[in-house]
Amino acid sequence: MTTMTKKTYSVIAVAALAVIAVAWWRFGSAPDGRGGGDPFADLNMLPKYQSDEATRQRTQAEIDGTKALYEKEPDSWNTWIAIGNLRALMEDYPGAIAAYQKSLDIQPDNLLGYRNIAAIYKYNLRDFSKAETYYRLAINNKP
């Protein structure tokens, strides 16, 4: 083999590994709404301040209602907005963003997905630059 051929094979191998890694990340069995797996697998833990019985019951009702929606319409952007809202309620902000992004993958012009991501960045993660980016996307993608 020539040096050029070895380099070509090396580049192809690295590119193939990168594609596999991206596919694993995007479609793997992550429970946080990124795809694959059960998006409700880890939603049985409430934030510490939500420990009273009434709050637990309301939260469980939210989980049950969102699960029912997911079972009925797993490929609906509305379902993924609901999953994102539930994850935000549980203070799982990366999971909420991933679910809102899934809603945008399904319906790219849904303003709610962009607005909700922007709100998470603004109010919860305090990343104003990313918040502004998503607010601008919402404004620019209005129907």
User: pTM of the full predicted structure?
Assistant: 0.72
DSSP string, the chain: --HHHHHHHHHHHHHHHHHHHHHHHHHS--TTSSSSS-TTTTTT---TT--SHHHHHHHHHHHHHHHHHHHH-TT-HHHHHHHHHHHHHTT-HHHHHHHHHHHHHH-TT-HHHHHHHHHIIIIIS--HHHHHHHHHHHHHT--
pLDDT tens sequence for the chain (143 residues): 555 576 666 656 555 555 454 444 444 434 444 445 788 877 766 666 666 888 888 888 989 999 999 999 999 999 999 999 999 988 999 999 999 999 999 999 999 999 999 999 999 999 999 999 999 999 998 66
